Amino acid sequence: MTGNRLGLETATLGGGCFWCLEAVCEQARGVEKVISGYAAGHTDNPTYEDICSGTTGHAEVVQITFDPQVISYRTLLEIFFTLHDPTTPNRQGNDRGTQYRSIILYHDENQKAVAHEVIREINDAGIWDAPVVTQLQPLEHFYPGEGYHQGYYRGHESQPYCQFVVAPKVVKFREKFSSLLKANA
């Protein structure tokens, strides 16, 4: 599986604004690092302004470095699917555009198989009124977002978007996955 130092692995996920996923994932035990960025498009080295134009093909994503001995890839996907609506193409709430699509960018065949299995289970369980439209494709390139996007929620909790969009997702994670919280979260 995707190699890093000390047996760490990497997952790349997009489910709307990357600030939401970053704020939640960095609180999960076993997650070593979360980087907000861009992937799955056709423009090299895109900027946030490029992404917002909707012409790059990129999605806002987070790249998560995690310890699979502490938190599994499957568990990360379960968190991911709890935090956004995977049935709305190119949209999460009021955030609209291809950059906000639901997407899993797998790093190897095992991640691909696990993602297929989780999506099938969600559809079979009828959790949503519509089928999951999350795109599943291999990661080709990941472009880290600008520095001001990294750790955004931690530094801007009082900002209206953070209060009304990000904070409810953090609360939902903390309630549903309380056993996964880092000690300092």
Query: Active-site residues: which are they?
Result: 17
Measured in whole angstroms, how far is the alpha carbon of residue 133 from the centre of its chain? 15
| Nearest Cα to Cα of residue 138 among 8, 2, 24, 36 | 2
The rounded distance, in Å, linking the Cα atoms of 16 and 86 is: 10
Query: Whats the size of the chain, residue-wise?
Result: 185
DSSP tag of 28: B
Structure tokens at 64: 């998560």
Task: Report the alpha-carbon distance of residue 114 to residue 116 in Å, rounded.
Answer: 5
Beta strand 102-106 with 9-15: parallel, antiparallel or unpaired? Answer: antiparallel
Q: Are 22 and 144 in contact (CB under 8 A)?
A: no
